[in-house]
Amino acid sequence: MDPFVYEALPSRVVFGWGSLDRLADEVDRLGVSRVLVLATPPQRAEAERIAVMLGPRVAGLFAGAVMHTPTDVTETALGVLRETGADATLAVGGGSTTGLGKAIAWRTDLPQLVVPTTYAGSEMTPILGETENGVKTTRRDRRILPEAVVYDPALTLSLPAGLSATSGLNAIAHAVEGLYARDRNPIVSLMAEDGVRALAAALPAIVRDPADREARSRALYGAWLCGAVLGAVGMALHHKLCHVLGGSFDLPHAETHAVVLPHVVAFNAPAAPEAMAALDRALGEGEGDPALRLHRLARAVGAPTALEAIGMPADGIDRAADLAVANPYWNPRPFDRDAVRALIAAAFAGRAPSDPAA
């Protein structure tokens, strides 16, 4: 076996049906007394319900989180934090809300709790992506990692099937990059494979029956594993492209991951045979290579398969290619602007994934 380094991240996870009832205990366990509850505008009602459960432990509510964590929204939230005297944050929702909690933690070093209501998985990473003036930048730091995460599958029952599908595919993308990351290791690979396996089986079941409790539980379990994978290893071409596309064109985060993932897998497949074998096992029975099977999975669960369909302008393809190669992430297969442009163009049109260099 090849030598490796594995460093476990110090985040506490409470998982299971009814886990929300333990949230007050988790607040007390952190030694804080006045949490600022964070949410997006659509999640305000859920956040208010949870705030009522916590009673005097809540200092206030800020329901202004949005996609891609714009820095001006963070500054507004920091003003509320100071006004209320909060000594911790509690993010209720998906990646947008979790991102705001991370941005506050980066600036203040205050503790964070997260109650996920989607399958984003970002609550398990010490990674923060922020947008300013149309440019998205990322950083990694232990201060960004939430201290505690309470996973209650009951909170995902109201997540529409379509959003469940794109959110789950977003999580799968985290695990896929972990399988071929430069700093991958056997522990992360096991987590990645099982995370993909859980989500690939659960998402079609959720689309068939959004009230399927077992499928909801398996999907949330898979999202946790996939998020933990991303938190343990570095990112590669897929995440670079999604950061560029999301930050530059304000594309919906999860949908962008769902569209781009099969195309990056097709590009990286020749350079990552072990990762493709693990992905093939995780996706279960089916015909075709992993890239095609991921493309079919997205179609089967009703997720978008074209960047054009989620709002990207045709004249943005060249700009995205330029930005992707300007400050590239490590990738198992080297790439140049022509290869990246071909990949983006295929994803824009919604074509079946193939190696753009073939």
Residues 6+ apart with CB under 8 A from 176: 192, 196, 238, 261, 265, 275, 279
Give me the pLDDT at residue 273, please.
Answer: 97
pLDDT digit string, tens, across residues 316-356: 999 999 999 998 889 999 999 999 999 999 999 999 998 77
pLDDT at 163: 94
Amino acid (one-letter) located at 288: G
Task: Report pLDDT for 201.
Answer: 97
* pLDDT at residue 130 is higher than 90: yes
- Answer yes or no: is 45 within a domain: yes
Q: CATH number of the domain that 288 lies in?
A: 1.20.1090.10
Which two tokens mark 224?
Answer: 């946790």
**Residue whose tokens read 């500054």:** 75
pLDDT by residue (tens digit) across 17-49?
A: 999 999 999 999 999 999 999 999 999 999 999
268-307, pLDDT tens digit by residue? 999 999 999 999 999 987 888 999 999 999 999 999 999 9
82 with 52: CB under 8 angstroms? no
Full-model pTM:
0.92
Q: 93: left (phi > 0), else alpha (psi -120 to 50), else beta?
A: left
Structure tokens belonging to residue 255: 């949908």
Give the integer Cα–Cα distance in Å for 127 and 201: 27
Looking at residue 6, its pLDDT comes to: 82
- Smallest CA-to-CA distance from 224 within 194, 184, 244 is with 194
| CATH number (domain holding residue 79) | 3.40.50.1970
Within this chain, do residues 209 and 338 fall inside the same structural domain, yes or no? yes
pLDDT in tens, 171-209: 999 999 999 999 999 999 999 999 999 999 999 999 999
Average pLDDT over residues 103-108: 97
231-256 per-position pLDDT tens digit? 999 999 999 999 899 889 999 989 99
Q: Indicate if 93 and 138 belong to the same structural domain.
A: yes
Q: 32 and 103 share a domain?
A: yes
Same domain assignment for residues 35 and 82? yes
The amino acid present at 322, given as its one-letter code, is D
Using the 3D structure, point to which of 156, 180, 197 is the last residue of a domain. 156
What pLDDT is stored for residue 301 in this prediction? 97
Please identify which residue in the block is written with the tokens 């995460």: 149
pLDDT of residue 287: 83
Domain that holds residue 57: 12-156
Q: How far is CA 230 from CA 120, 176, 179, 252, in A?
A: 11, 9, 10, 20
